[in-house]
Structure 1
Amino acid sequence: MDAMDAVRFMISREVEPDLGYSSKDFFVQIPTNPPFYFALYTGAMFDSLPHPFEVPPGGILADEMGLGKTVELLGLIMSHRRGDTPTTDPDPIVKRSVIAIVLEEIVSTVVAGLEANLPRGTMTRKRSWDLHYNEIEDESVKKRAKMSNSVNVVSTIKCLACGVTCSQAKVFWDRFDSSAIPFYCPNCVQKQESKKAIKATLVIAPSTICHQWYEEVKRHVRDDVSVDMYNGVAAEGYKHPEYLATRDIVICSFETLANEVYFIETNEKLGSLRSRKYLIPPTPLLSVEWWRVCVDEAQVIESRTSVVSEMCWRLQAVNRWCITGTPITDSVDNLFGLLCFIGVEPYCYSNWWNGALWLPYENGCSEPLVDLFSKIFWRNTKEDVIDQVIQF
């Protein structure tokens, strides 16, 4: 087993996510007139058989640290893109020896650790008046905006829905060929019922390794693969979903994601549009349907009460992956948070988790738990691949 096998496993989980069970496996029909259905693990009663359980594409990549999880995930990203027919032969970028991957991971980790101790860059939190995306009417604010942009001529565009005039630069509308795309302002985009389906994979990781992720992407993938470092509305303004749709990979830190909670339905919280002199953009991360969301160091979202966990669950995506070398930190119960993020029904609900998996495991019956995770969980340790290292 090697990196190629891991990529093949992930592709298979995205192409054929079915786990081989149905609603009928969890309910017993009571022969009454009319019949009732008894839930085996929760004790609930239903007057009809509940809808089929949803098992979304995705899973858990839990190779031991140093075995190239980053490279394996890049292999998945390059081999299975939105709209493409997937191939079981992963992209050549992951066809490298295990020992090379091990050395590369060690070097990258050391470099990332050194860079984390360097002075922080000039990226600062924007002033509130500079966060607005609409063309300002208030003279005092106009003057301050003019001072910060005295040389450049501000290019604007009008929202087709509400008529608000927006600065193209502040919504990243001037960063790509948008001439043929209808424009909707951030507030109207957020109100749209259907989310824009984009090709991008969103990678969420601790800030200390986001730069490492960026460098790994640049090192391993082709030049035509576009990558974006997402620093948040507070730091760089509103990255319009149409702009995000042009990216292949978007990298975001846990810290940035947590801060985005302050930019959910911003204008509704602050007052009506007519009463606002300037409009604060909502986070665009929740306005799209990502092709794939991958959480690195996913043990962080095992806690179901953290802001990061809440934001991760709010993200809409076709495929969901947990990346962690330590899926269990102190108890098998830690795995429940990962199931919640992936959305594996019915086990992502606490009463089903407890009744069908956790309590049987506690009582010495691990078969149900092992059976489920054997289908969605991939893990190699250095001992598993030692023969490949020796051959090298």
Structure 2
Amino acid sequence: LRTQWCNEICRHVKGGFKVLQYEGYSASPVYPTQLKEYDLVITTYNVLKAELRLTECGQVVNLRRERKYSPPGSPLVRVKWWRLCLDEAQTVETPRQMVSEMTKKINSTFRWAITGTPISKEISDLQGLIDYLQITPYNDFETWKYMLYDPYMKGNKG
């Protein structure tokens, strides 16, 4: 999917548009200042899951033995992005999954969700998308449940 996006961008966008296929800090260390040089940074959900471990004070969890130094935190959370886009955004429908947790840590001015199936099983699938999109007050689970989910489930679908 990442390669497909890069091919489409190269085909449709002219000029000096700079695209980076980010494969994760452990694959190829990239610093926030380097990320800011690109017009578009494309990565995968697997990379987001892996980078989540690097977001807590630069510490990697679940090590067999303690390291003498701490690796730097994920550069993805150290940049203020203009726009964060998720393709196949139904991937974040469960707010407590690792991908969802990572997207919450990425700071952006705008958020887009691209999906053909916003509801894959039930109406509660929407809560993860609303949480990702930061649609207040509904991105708070209790507010979502009280104001949208419970009334819908009771038949008040208007």
With the length of structure 1 as denominator, give the TM-score of the two structures.
Answer: 0.37
Say if 2:148 is the partner of 1:331. Answer: no
Which of 224, 234, 249 is 2:26 aligned to? 234
Give 1:26-41 correspondences, 5 Å limit.
Answer: none
Whole-Å separation in 2 of the counterparts to 1:253 and 1:362 = 34
Whole-Å separation in 1 of the counterparts to 2:74 and 2:144 = 32
SS in 2 for 1:295: strand
Please identify the structure whose Cα radius of gyration is greater: 1
Any idea what the Cα deviations from partners look like across 1:161-196, whole Å, max 9, x if unmatched?
xxxxxxxxxxxxxxxxxxxxxxxxxxxxxxxxxxxx
Equivalent in the alignment of 1:222:
14
Whole-Å separation in 2 of the counterparts to 1:268 and 1:336 = 29
Any idea what the Cα deviations from partners look like across 1:73-114, whole Å, max 9, x if unmatched?
xxxxxxxxxxxxxxxxxxxxxxxxxxxxxxxxxxxxxxxxxx
Considering only aligned residues, what root-mean-square deviation do their CA atoms show, in Å? 1.8
Shift of 1:282: 1.9
Say if 2:64 is the partner of 1:297. Answer: no
Equivalent in the alignment of 1:152:
none
Any idea what the Cα deviations from partners look like across 1:306-364, whole Å, max 9, x if unmatched?
11110011110000111100000011111011110111111111221112111221222
Whole-Å separation in 2 of the counterparts to 1:235 and 1:256 = 10
SS in 1 for 2:84: strand
Give 1:12-23 correspondences, 5 Å limit.
Answer: none
Any idea what the Cα deviations from partners look like across 1:9-60, whole Å, max 9, x if unmatched?
xxxxxxxxxxxxxxxxxxxxxxxxxxxxxxxxxxxxxxxxxxxxxxxxxxxx
Question: Greater RCO between the two (CA within 8 Å, min separation 6)?
Answer: 1
Give 1:110-189 correspondences, 5 Å limit.
Answer: none
Any idea what the Cα deviations from partners look like across 1:175-234, whole Å, max 9, x if unmatched?
xxxxxxxxxxxxxxxxxxxxxxxxxxxxxxxxxx11101111111101311111000011
Equivalent in the alignment of 2:147:
356
SS in 2 for 1:266: coil
Whole-Å separation in 1 of the counterparts to 2:72 and 2:146 = 43
Equivalent in the alignment of 1:123:
none
8 Å Cα contact 2:2/2:43 also seen in 1: yes
Whole-Å separation in 1 of the counterparts to 2:154 and 2:101 = 31
Q: Unaligned regions of 5+ residues in structure 2, if any? A: 62-66
SS in 1 for 2:11: helix
One-letter code aligned to 1:233? Y
Which of 237, 248, 253 is 2:39 aligned to? 248
Whole-Å separation in 1 of the counterparts to 2:48 and 2:119 = 23
Task: Give the fraction of aligned pairs with identical amino acids, expressed as a percent.
Answer: 35
